[in-house]
């Protein structure tokens, strides 16, 4: 039986949706979590495609996330560096949604934490970096597109503050970009393989704050379902995979997630 809560059915419908989702999670020994931008909005980091998303308010900003535009257009790079300098992510702190996933790990039930986010707030909240799979990379590192030299983003940003509009690699003079996956850039095959294995070896796939519109991350939902896992989706808006989920909850992630991952009154036998 699939129970869902939609925004127009608040109140009793939401309560039933949370109860259904919690019942599923209470019985899970191995939970793989997939997170998207929605989990970080309560930390002050706007999402990309939502009503107040970065790309919704400024469609041209998406050019900085498109590899060909970034590599071929110096003005796009200069705008990208200015945006990085002013990003709210540098002041952001983990919120209670992030901390709920730390609790899930401490319970010994977190199989893996696959994230589409690039802010590293899961690690900063206290999740083991070995369990965090960053499918889109991290904004806190910078990489040279020519020689592949990596370094801390903060060092590059300090050069921007000192007047360099488009800082180049100090080793080879190549173009530098954040160590994130841009549109048109291949994803790391080993990272995707880790995410797929995590989806296929869990009891429950919990998708949180993701529109499930970007692949291959979105493809983890049917992959997990085909492998026998139940799917729980917590998101503000409808997703293409809601019909595949055993429970869908609409509401504030900071309110809902702590309630969902709280240990059941009767412990699950043989928790790993």
The SS3 of residue 124 is helix
Indicate the DSSP class of residue 147. Answer: T
CB atoms within 10 A of CB 18: 20
Cis-peptide, bond into residue 216, ω within 30° of zero? yes
Query: For residue 230, what is the enclosing H or E element?
Result: strand 230-234
Neighbouring residues of 226: CB distance < 8 A, sequence distance ≥ 6: none
Q: Which of 200, 261, 232, 255 is nearest to 39 (CA)?
A: 255
Angle at which helices 253-261 and 12-26 cross, to 10°: 40
Catalytic residue set: 136
The SS3 of residue 126 is coil
Q: Which of 138, 245, 146, 256 is nearest to 191 (CA)?
A: 138
Query: For residue 247, what is the enclosing H or E element?
Result: strand 247-249
């Amino acid at each position: 039986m699939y129970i869902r809560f939609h925004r127009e059915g608040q109140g009793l419908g939401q309560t039933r949706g949370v109860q259904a989702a919690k019942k599923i999670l209470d019985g899970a020994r191995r939970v793989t979590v997939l997170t998207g931008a929605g989990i970080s909005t309560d930390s002050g980091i706007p999402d990309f495609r939502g009503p107040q998303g970065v790309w919704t308010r400024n469609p041209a900003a998406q050019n900085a996330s498109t590899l060909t535009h970034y590599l071929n257009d110096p003005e796009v790079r200069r705008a990208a560096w200015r945006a990085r300098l002013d990003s709210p992510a540098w002041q952001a702190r983990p919120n209670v949604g992030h901390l709920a996933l730390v609790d899930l790990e401490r319970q010994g039930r977190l199989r893996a934490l696959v994230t589409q986010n690039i802010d590293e707030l899961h690690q900063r909240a206290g999740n083991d970096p070995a369990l965090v799979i960053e499918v889109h990379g991290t904004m806190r590192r910078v990489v040279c597109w020519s020689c592949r030299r990596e370094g801390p983003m903060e060092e590059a940003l300090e050069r921007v503050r000192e007047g360099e509009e488009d800082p180049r690699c100090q080793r080879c003079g190549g173009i530098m970009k954040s160590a994130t996956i841009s549109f048109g850039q291949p994803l790391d095959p080993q990272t995707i393989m880790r995410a797929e294995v995590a989806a296929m070896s869990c009891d429950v796939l919990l998708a949180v704050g993701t529109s499930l519109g970007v692949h291959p991350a979105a493809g983890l939902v049917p992959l997990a379902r085909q492998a026998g896992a139940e799917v729980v989706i917590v998101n503000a808006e409808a997703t293409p995979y809601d019909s595949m989920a055993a429970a869908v909850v609409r509401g504030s992630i900071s309110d809902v997630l702590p309630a969902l991952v709280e240990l059941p009154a009767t412990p699950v036998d043989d928790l790993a």
